[in-house]
Structure 1
Amino acid sequence: MIGRRTIAALVALTLSAVSAGCGDGDDAASTDSGTLRVGYQRFGGLSLVKAKAAAPGVTWSLFESGPALTEALKAGAIDLGQTGEAPPIFAAAGKIPFKIVGTSAPVPKGEAVLVKQAKGYRTFADLRGKTVALNKGSNVNWLLVKLLEANRMTLADINVKYLKPAEGRPAFDNDQVDAWIIWDPYFALAEQPGVQVLADATGLANNREYILVSPEAVKSKSAQISTFLSAYQKTTAWGIANPEERTKVLAPELKIDEAVTARALARSAQPLAALTPEIGAELQAIADGFTKLELIPGSVDMKARIDDQFSTELQ
C-alpha cells in the first residue's frame, strides 16, 4: 500500500527535477544544439522509453505537469515533449510555438474524480456547491468541463480550486477539498481505503497523449526526431505486448511499487495512433469549448498545429 510518504517523495522528486534546470537528476540538460532534448512526465509513454534506455543520445527533462512542460518549450529548454489534450490548447492560447507530431489511442480511464466514501457522494451532480480541486490547463481541466456539461451544471455551480498535484493530494487527504480530479500515476497512488472513484472520462473525454515539438527542432533536428519517434513506437508496442516486464522496468523509474504501477498501466497505457484530420477536429472542439467558457483568451487554431510528417514512424 502506498502512503503519504511515498506520494510526497514522488512529488518532491518531480519538483526538485523541474527546479534544477529541468533535469531529472541523472541527465543534465544539454547545451549541444544537435542533441535532442526531450521533456517527459513521470508515467507517460516517454517514461518507458527513458526507463528502457531505448533512445541513446537523448537528454531528458522531467516535469510535474503538461503546462510546466509547454513553458519549457516556450523557453527553448526542450525540443520535444509529451502532454495530455488540454496543455497544447492553453499553450496555443499563450502564443507558444509548437507542432503536434504524434498522439495516442484514447485513455479515458486514466483520469478520474476522486472523493471520500464517507461523504456519501454518488454522482458528480452531488458536488454542486462543493470544492473541486484540479490542475489548471491539464487534461483534467477538459474532463471537468465535460462533467459539468453532462450534469447540466456550470463552473458557477462548484467552487474550483486550481492546485498542482503536489498541492492537490494533501488538500484531498486533509478534507480541504471535496473532490480531486487527477490523472495517473497520482490517481493510482491516491486509491487508498476510503477513497472512491466518482467518475472517470469514459464517454466524456478521450484523454489522449500528444507529442509536441518546437518548430525549430522540426527544421533542424528532423532526423533525430524521426529516430526517437521510431524508438518510442517500438517501446510502446513492446510494453503493451509484455505488461509484466513493462511494470518491472517502469516501477523504479516512477519510484512507486509494482502493484500500483501495474494498476495504473492497465488502464492508462495505450498504443500510439496516427495523426488524422479527425484528431485535429477533436482538439479544435476542445479549444472551442475552452474559448466559449472564457478559460482561454480568444480562439485558437489547433488544426494548424498538426504536423503529420512523422506519422510513418508512429504506425
Structure 2
Amino acid sequence: MRRSLAAVATLLLAVALAGCGNDSEAAEEDSGTLRIGYQRFGGLSLIKARGDAPGVTWSLFESGPALTEALKAGAIDLGQTGEAPPIFAAAAKTDFVIAGVGAPSPRSEAVLVKESKGFRTFADLKGKTVALNKGSNVHWLLVKLLEANKMTLQDINVKYLKPAEGRPAFDNDQVDAWIIWDPYFALAEQPGVKVLADATGLANNREYILVGKNAAGQKTDQIKSFLQTYEKTTAWGIEHPDERAAVLAPELKIDEPTTKRALARAAQPVDKLDGIGDEIQAIADGFADLKLIPGKVDVKSLVDTRFAEAAP
C-alpha cells in the first residue's frame, strides 16, 4: 500500500509540474505546426499514445484551467477540457471557439469520502470541508449537487485545490470530501474510500475541444484533419477497450487494471455539436448567477461548426 501511494504521489507531482510549466514545445514560437494541449486522460491522450497524429507538438496539463491559460497566452492552438473551463476562460476574455464535443460521461466524476466518517448522502456534508479544482468540470458538479440537496455554497467550506494538492489533503483527512474526475478518481479508489455521489442525473460532464481564434482562422484545414483523427481514434478505443487500456496505461503511468476501470466509465464517443450551445450557455448562466464568474458571458456564440466539414 505504501509503495502504491508513493507511486500515486509521484504521478500527481509529475502531472502538477507538467501543468505548471508545460513543456518546451509550448514555449516555442509558432512555426505553423499544430500545437496540441492535452490532459493525461482525455481523448487526445489516446491519439498521442498511438502516434496517430505525426507532425503535431504536444503539451501536457494537469487540468482544464491550466490548459485554457496556455490557450489565452497563444502557447497552444487546440486543447481538450471539461465543461466548466471554457466558461471561466470566456469570462477571462480568452479568444477561442468550441470545435468539438464528446458524449456525456457523468460517472467519471464523483464526490469521494472516507467510509469511516459515516457520510451517507451529500447533504451530510453540510458544515464540512469539500475540496475541488476551481473552474474544472467538478465545479459545475458541486453547483448541481448543492442545488439538488437544497443547499448553497454557504452551507459548506469549499477548499480550492489542484489534483496534486487534493489527493494528499484527502488522504490525510485535511478535507472531508474530494470532488474529482478520472483518472485521479480511479487512483483514489483505495480500501476505505467511498463514492458518495457521481454526476448521474446532474451534469453531463462532456469533453470539449477548444481552438484558439487565431489558429481557427490560420490552421483551419490542419484542425479539421486532426479532429477527424480524434473521432476515428476515439471510435477505435471504444471498439477495442482492452487494447486501448494497454496503449494508454504506459502513457498515463497508471497500472492497467486502474486504467481499464477508469476508461470503462470515462471514455465516450465524439458527439454532434447540435444543441451544445444551449447546454453550455445554461451552465455559464448558472455560474454567473452564483457570482462564480464576474458576469454573464455568451458562450453559445463560441460553438464553431466549420470544423465538422471534411478537410480537403
- What is the rounded CA distance, in whole Å, between the counterparts of 1:18 and 1:170 in structure 2? 18
TM-score (norm 1): 0.96
Report the equivalent of 2:112. 114
Q: Secondary structure at the match of 1:229?
A: helix
TM-score (norm 2): 0.97
Corresponding letter in the other structure for 2:303: I
Corresponding letter in the other structure for 1:306: V
Corresponding letter in the other structure for 1:296: I
Report the equivalent of 1:306. 303
Check whether the contact 1:240–1:269 (CA below 8 A) recurs between aligned residues.
yes
Is 1:293 paired with 2:290? yes
The number of equivalent residue pairs is 310
Check whether the contact 2:97–2:211 (CA below 8 A) recurs between aligned residues.
yes
Report the equivalent of 1:9. 10
- What is the rounded CA distance, in whole Å, between the counterparts of 2:306 and 2:269 in structure 1? 19
Q: Secondary structure at the match of 2:65?
A: helix
- The two structures, once aligned, show a CA RMSD in angstroms of 1.4
Structure 1 residues 267, 313: closer, same or farther in 2, change over 3 A?
Answer: farther
- What is the rounded CA distance, in whole Å, between the counterparts of 1:3 and 1:180 in structure 2? 19
Any residues of structure 2 matched to 1:233-312 within 5 Å, and which?
A: 233-276=231-274, 278-312=275-309
Report the equivalent of 2:140. 142
- 1:81-132 CA-to-partner distances (Å, cap 9, x unmatched) read 0000000000001111100000000010010000000111000000000000
- What is the rounded CA distance, in whole Å, between the counterparts of 1:177 and 1:19 in structure 2? 24
Report the equivalent of 1:69. 67
Check whether the contact 1:30–1:59 (CA below 8 A) recurs between aligned residues.
no
2:130 alignment partner, one of 129, 132, 136: 132
- 1:207-241 CA-to-partner distances (Å, cap 9, x unmatched) read 00000000100111111101111111110000000
Deviation at 1:32, TM superposition (A): 4.2
Check whether the contact 2:284–2:297 (CA below 8 A) recurs between aligned residues.
yes
1:193 alignment partner, one of 171, 191, 194: 191
- What is the rounded CA distance, in whole Å, between the counterparts of 2:285 and 2:136 in structure 1? 16
Question: What are the ranges of 5 or more consecutive residues in structure 2 without an aligned counterpart?
Answer: none
Deviation at 1:195, TM superposition (A): 0.1
- What is the rounded CA distance, in whole Å, between the counterparts of 1:90 and 1:235 in structure 2? 29
Check whether the contact 2:87–2:297 (CA below 8 A) recurs between aligned residues.
yes
Deviation at 1:5, TM superposition (A): 1.3
Corresponding letter in the other structure for 2:219: K
Any residues of structure 2 matched to 1:15-30 within 5 Å, and which?
A: 15-20=16-21, 22-23=22-23, 30=28
Q: Quote the sequence identity (%).
A: 72
Check whether the contact 1:147–1:204 (CA below 8 A) recurs between aligned residues.
yes
Deviation at 1:29, TM superposition (A): 5.1
- What is the rounded CA distance, in whole Å, between the counterparts of 2:171 and 2:4 in structure 1? 11
Is 1:215 paired with 2:186? no
Question: What are the ranges of 5 or more consecutive residues in structure 1 without an aligned counterpart?
Answer: none
Deviation at 1:312, TM superposition (A): 4.0
Structure 1 residues 313, 130: closer, same or farther in 2, change over 3 A?
Answer: farther
Check whether the contact 2:167–2:188 (CA below 8 A) recurs between aligned residues.
yes
- What is the rounded CA distance, in whole Å, between the counterparts of 1:29 and 1:253 in structure 2? 22
- What is the rounded CA distance, in whole Å, between the counterparts of 1:187 and 1:18 in structure 2? 18
Deviation at 1:6, TM superposition (A): 2.0
- What is the rounded CA distance, in whole Å, between the counterparts of 1:262 and 1:94 in structure 2? 36
Any residues of structure 2 matched to 1:155-174 within 5 Å, and which?
A: 155-174=153-172
Check whether the contact 1:84–1:208 (CA below 8 A) recurs between aligned residues.
yes
Deviation at 1:33, TM superposition (A): 2.4
